[in-house]
Amino acid sequence: MKKSISTIIKHSSFSKINRSANPAVVRASTILFDSMQELASHEKKILLDKPITHYAYGRYGSQTTIELQKIVKELEQAHHVFLHSTGFGSVSLAFMALCQSGDEVLVGDNVYYPTREITEKLLPKYNIKTKYYDPNNIKDLESKITKKTKLIFVENPGSITFEFQDLIEIIKLAKKNNIITAMDNTWGTPLYFKPLLLGFDVSISSATKYFSGHSDAMGGTLAVNKKTYSKVKFCDKLLGSRLSADEAYLIIRGIRTLDVRLKAHYENTTKIVNFLKKQKKIKEVLYPHKPGSKNYKMWKKYYTGATGLLSVLIKAKSKASVLKFVNKLELFGIGYSWGGFESLAIYHDVSKSRNFYKFEKNEHLVRIHVGLEDSKDLIADLKNSLKYIK
């Protein structure tokens, strides 16, 4: 019987050994075998990429991480999924595995700040050059492709400013020029968009965010197609950054309810957006909510749903008053990350880290994650704090 993904994420990983609904937490460094012949046979299975129930050494994972890999593989419709200790660990793995000295990479100007740091500060040490392209201009991307371009790295939508790109056009350019493509898909998750099915070679998600959903675990997933599998496998094995069994268990616990939680996040977010767009102090809500706009069209073209992260563009002469707006919020915590059950708000200044996004005078960005609290309470909290903006 063919099952929907909502059913699969709830019924996979049933433990036949301890008969629990969830897999056991298997913590191990040394894995024991009955004989040298059994060990050799197991190593051969791994070499030939045959299914295994455990690894030969704890650095590669455990039965618990294997179960998480199975679930994410179904979600992503991937050839294989690699797990890392953080979402950014997966981003780093993509660059280190897919690039080499002398290469050039094209990176969206709107990527997550640590991604920008690795391209600006680390890759040059290995003689890898980065060019940033305008996420709102496919012609700009095309004009920067050279014979040395080996990777196009996309984050969609863009961090903080939420530009939605025409992804199929990027893939067409990449295939025409034999360039590998990777996408950070943390915002939409593979529940709402599957990059590999569209034609991307690599799909990255920070499992810290919506996969976990409880703000108590960190992890990253990197899903690949057959084309990139060997390169990523080689680098993944040698770098030794591994997701622990405990973190894997917590992420599995969270991913069971991914579909239900994202639906609730979106319902709350829709109500919050409808409130914010009517407020005179809010110049723009950066979220795909306006039919006819480019961002809305691109979101509708590729995604089957939307999540709870957005930004608001505030026009205010006083930066201090915008900070006060954030500080006075009672139900929106001030902190990094997002994707958990709770609402968050944080001030961001990206004016010095962007080549193409232009701020007008007295414009300020506040990123908001809409959690699972009662939407009426969240709106009342926002309404009360907006009065502090001058």
The answer to whether 286 touches 253, Cβ cutoff 8 Å, is no
Tokens of 313: 């563009």
The helix (run of H) or strand (run of E) holding residue 43 is helix 36-47
Alpha carbon 255 to chain centroid distance? Answer: 14
DSSP E strand boundaries for the chain: 80-84, 104-108, 129-133, 149-155, 180-184, 202-206, 220-224, 282-286, 309-315, 332-333, 343-348, 363-369
* Number of helices followed by number of strands (H, E) in the chain: 15, 12
201 flagged as catalytic: no
Catalytic residue selected from 131, 150, 194, 209: 209
Query: Sheet holding 343-348: strands in order across?
Result: 282-286, 309-315, 363-369, 343-348, 332-333
Catalytic residue selected from 44, 59, 237, 300: 59
34 flagged as catalytic: no
Catalytic residue selected from 55, 112, 210, 388: 112
Nearest residue to 92 (alpha-carbon basis) of 223, 270, 222, 188: 222
Token look-up 């993944």 returns: 236
Catalytic residue selected from 103, 184, 201, 236: 184
Q: Which residues pair with 314 in a beta bridge?
A: 282, 364
Rounded Cα distance between 98 and 180, Å, is: 8
319 flagged as catalytic: no
209 flagged as catalytic: yes
User: Hey, which residues are catalytic here?
Assistant: 59, 112, 184, 209
